[in-house]
Amino acid sequence: MNELAIVEYLRKLAARANAARVVRGAPARPAPGKRDRRTVSGAQAASGLILGIGDDCAVVRPRAGEDLLFKSDQIVEDIHFRRGIAPAIVGQRALARALSDIAAMGGEPRLCLVSLTVPQDLGERFIRAFYRGLLAEARRTGTVLAGGDLAHAEKIYCDVCILGAVPKGQALRRDGARPGDAIFVSGSLGKPWDRRIEPRLELGRSLLGKATACMDISDGLALDLHRLCVASHVAAHVTAVPIHRGATLDRALHGGEDYELLFTMPASMRPPKGVMRIGTVVPAKHGKEGEVFFQGEPLPPRGYDHFQQPLQ
Amino acid sequence: MNELAIVEYLRKLAARANAARVVRGAPARPAPGKRDRRTVSGAQAASGLILGIGDDCAVVRPRAGEDLLFKSDQIVEDIHFRRGIAPAIVGQRALARALSDIAAMGGEPRLCLVSLTVPQDLGERFIRAFYRGLLAEARRTGTVLAGGDLAHAEKIYCDVCILGAVPKGQALRRDGARPGDAIFVSGSLGKPWDRRIEPRLELGRSLLGKATACMDISDGLALDLHRLCVASHVAAHVTAVPIHRGATLDRALHGGEDYELLFTMPASMRPPKGVMRIGTVVPAKHGKEGEVFFQGEPLPPRGYDHFQQPLQ
């Protein structure tokens, strides 16, 4: 596919995924004999997209009373995954990782941009399967594909940039945990890489105004809880961990790529259904902010680190 | 650098570049003995950023009366450039390419996210020089670094995602050129890769409400003018082209990476200073939308194509 063909291809993909024609927002007379493409579909109208793929930028109209969430997330072959994994799963995960960050702030996703490089020998078949997985996830979560780019390179590389929204001033941050708060996770830890990620969008939204701190677990519980505690200037006692079937305790504590939510709430508050309490926030000793104890012993903030240990 | 060190490093870089401390937007009590970091610098306040690097997403508060511009742009070693180019130039160009898209819509840049992978052997020295170039450009243009990621890979890869703003409903699009309009470019064409890019932000803004269509020339005049004409359902006659010193006519017409603005205006309107008129928009013959003629001869829409010819 040459570059023009790719733009056309992305445009068609997006149109199909968004169940609508390419969006034309600002007034422009339709050309003689052309249908007027200014109609906006439900998904696109909800996303605020008023000009989609095919111009220099996507144009988005923000809604009153909302803050926007802005994040990008990259995956690289042989660092985050090996080529044996199904392309549709790679595509699903590429988007779902970014969606998980939106969930962690209590937001809802609106638009995404997808930059992809693929080796020449994988070609079109890989690209189609990758986008099939990515766009199914986009449809499922109401995320509109607003742009993207494709290039050739020796390795598969994908960067997804996402724009989400949250009621003004209500984004869930990492820095509000207080001593006495209960600590929860949304699911089992230590999952393998070759599966779909389930971004916890509904749960995240249900925590608005309730959770004192929230983040997603992308680099392992030990490291991520440490980060949450550093941001909040507190320490934590962990008493129990839900271990994924077949995983080791070490993987549940220090493995990456779980994409469950980790959050704190006042202990007196009723937690949402289906989450598991794993411990309690405690005051940090002087100079020991971020300290995490597991069953009474200090838990080192060791997790998945891209600069040290490539995943299997 | 491990991942935590990188976040710390990016945070410091951003803080220095934005000439302010890390932004804390929503009310959160400062920890005992900690200074309150909620102060927002001028650049950050102007960008709308209320929560910067260090949480799951950046949080942005949009202004009333504005549309947002959303775009990502990737560069890949051995596709867009070779390793011999100074890392600071690679960083400058990585951001400036995306800024050029904002300029092409008549917008002003606000925030950017930078995903970077670097080979292990280049290491920290490359990263620092790359960011020095990128952040100098960010400062110069009022763009705030709001997040990013670093990973190792065999090749240098960078994806920059940018969020900009434009007065509501006024974004400059590709689809409004009308027969009789004059066609302009903002500078000479056929430039080599190993130089800074000058994103035409001021010119772009000055064209709001005046240009009937606008885009930036990233893949060569022939291909990009063809695209503008396709979008506008018109054709074009080009009579003259400003050739960059030392470049061939072929490179000026079909080379990529110029990042000048290409725009159309009613011929009766006075053009901004410093631009050059290159031709006139004409009606498209039936089924020939997008046709471009150069000095009376059809000009094939051949340009820089990532899937066909890697740059020198």
- The answer to whether position A224 is within a domain reads yes
User: What's residue A1's pLDDT?
Assistant: 42
Contact with chain B for residue A203, Cβ under 8 A: no
Chain A residue numbers with beta carbons less than 8 Å from the beta carbon of B170 are 26
For residues A97 and A186, membership in a common domain is answered with no
Q: Could you give the angle at which helices B123-141 and B87-104 cross, rounded to 10 degrees?
A: 30
Concatenated DSSP letters of B149-186: EEEE-SS-EEEEEEEEEEETT----SS---TT-EEEES
Is the per-residue pLDDT at A210 higher than 80?
yes
Which one of B72, B80, B158 makes the best mutation probe of the A interface by having the most chain A beta carbons within 10 Å?
B72
Q: Which residues contact A158 (CB under 8 A, 6 or more apart)?
A: A74, A75, A90, A91, A94, A114, A115, A116, A117, A130
Q: Identify whether the C-beta of residue B58 lies closer than 8 Å to the C-beta of residue B149.
A: no
Compute the mean pLDDT over every residue in chain B, rounded to the nearest whole number.
87
For residues A75 and A137, membership in a common domain is answered with yes
Report the number of distinct structural domains present in chain B: 2
Is the per-residue pLDDT at B2 higher than 90?
no
- The answer to whether position B303 is within a domain reads no
- The answer to whether position A126 is within a domain reads yes
User: What's residue A25's pLDDT?
Assistant: 36
- The answer to whether position B172 is within a domain reads no
CA-to-CA distance for B151 and A307, rounded, in angstroms? 7
Dihedral sign for Cα A281, A285, A288, A292, please. Answer: negative
Mean pLDDT of A211-232: 96
Strands (E), B168-258: 182-185, 213-216, 234-238
For residues B46 and B160, membership in a common domain is answered with yes
User: What's residue A30's pLDDT?
Assistant: 41
For residues B186 and B159, membership in a common domain is answered with no
- The answer to whether position B305 is within a domain reads no
For residues A189 and A287, membership in a common domain is answered with yes
Helix (H, G, I), strand (E, B) or coil at B256: coil
pLDDT digits (tens, 9 = 90+) for A87-138: 999 999 999 999 999 999 999 999 999 999 999 888 788 999 999 999 999 9
List the CATH number of the domain containing B190. 3.90.650.10
| Token reading at B58 | 């950046």
User: What's residue A194's pLDDT?
Assistant: 86
User: What's residue A43's pLDDT?
Assistant: 76
Question: What single letter denotes the amino acid at residue B204?
Answer: G
Chain B residue numbers with beta carbons less than 8 Å from the beta carbon of A307 are 1-3, 6, 150-152
Q: Do A171 and B59 touch (CB under 8 A)?
A: yes
- Give the domain range for residue A220: 182-298
Residue ending a domain, choose from B110, B135, B167: B167
| Residue B305 banded pLDDT, cuts 50, 70, 90 | low
Q: Which residues contact A218 (CB under 8 A, 6 or more apart)?
A: A97, A100, A224, A256, A257, A258, A259, A304
Least confident range from A55-69, B122-136, B207-221: namely B122-136
pLDDT digits (tens, 9 = 90+) for B86-132: 999 999 999 999 999 999 999 999 999 999 999 988 878 899 999 99
Chain A residue numbers with beta carbons less than 8 Å from the beta carbon of B232 are 31
Residue ending a domain, choose from A133, A167, A201: A167
For residues A186 and A146, membership in a common domain is answered with no
| Token reading at A65 | 């009373």
> Minimal Cα–Cα distance from A152 to chain B, Å?
7
| Residue A34 banded pLDDT, cuts 50, 70, 90 | very low
- In the DSSP assignment, the letter for residue A53 is B
Residue B73: name the closest of B153, B162, B143 by CA.
B162
Length of chain B: 312
Q: Do B57 and A72 touch (CB under 8 A)?
A: no
- The answer to whether position A87 is within a domain reads yes
Least confident range from A105-119, B4-18, B234-248: namely B4-18
User: What's residue A227's pLDDT?
Assistant: 95
Residue A116: name the closest of B137, B72, B91 by CA.
B72
List the CATH number of the domain containing B27. 3.30.1330.10
Question: In this prediction, what percent of chain B has a pLDDT beyond 90?
Answer: 71
Chain B residue numbers with beta carbons less than 8 Å from the beta carbon of A66 are 62
For residues A156 and A209, membership in a common domain is answered with no
For residues B261 and B152, membership in a common domain is answered with no
Is the per-residue pLDDT at B311 higher than 60?
no
Helix or strand (DSSP H, E) at A10: helix A3-17
Q: Identify whether the C-beta of residue B183 lies closer than 8 Å to the C-beta of residue B234.
A: no
Contact with chain A for residue B168, Cβ under 8 A: yes
Residue ending a domain, choose from B167, B190, B213: B167
- The answer to whether position B253 is within a domain reads yes
For residues B157 and B105, membership in a common domain is answered with yes
CA-to-CA distance for A120 and A138, rounded, in angstroms? 26
For residues B154 and B192, membership in a common domain is answered with no
| Token reading at B247 | 């470049």
pLDDT digits (tens, 9 = 90+) for B39-67: 456 778 889 999 988 899 999 999 999 99
User: What's residue B30's pLDDT?
Assistant: 41
For residues B17 and B159, membership in a common domain is answered with yes
User: What's residue A230's pLDDT?
Assistant: 96
| Token reading at B297 | 């001869």
Is the per-residue pLDDT at A16 higher than 80?
no
For residues B163 and B187, membership in a common domain is answered with no
Predicted TM-score (pTM) of this structure: 0.89
Q: Do A59 and B166 touch (CB under 8 A)?
A: yes
CA-to-CA distance for B294 and B222, rounded, in angstroms? 9
Which of B76, B117, B149 lies nearest to residue A73, judging by beta carbons?
A: B149
Residue B52: name the closest of B42, B44, B62 by CA.
B44
Residues 96-135 of chain B whose Cβ lies under 8 A from any Cβ of chain A: 101-102, 104-105, 107, 111, 113, 115, 117
ipTM confidence = 0.88
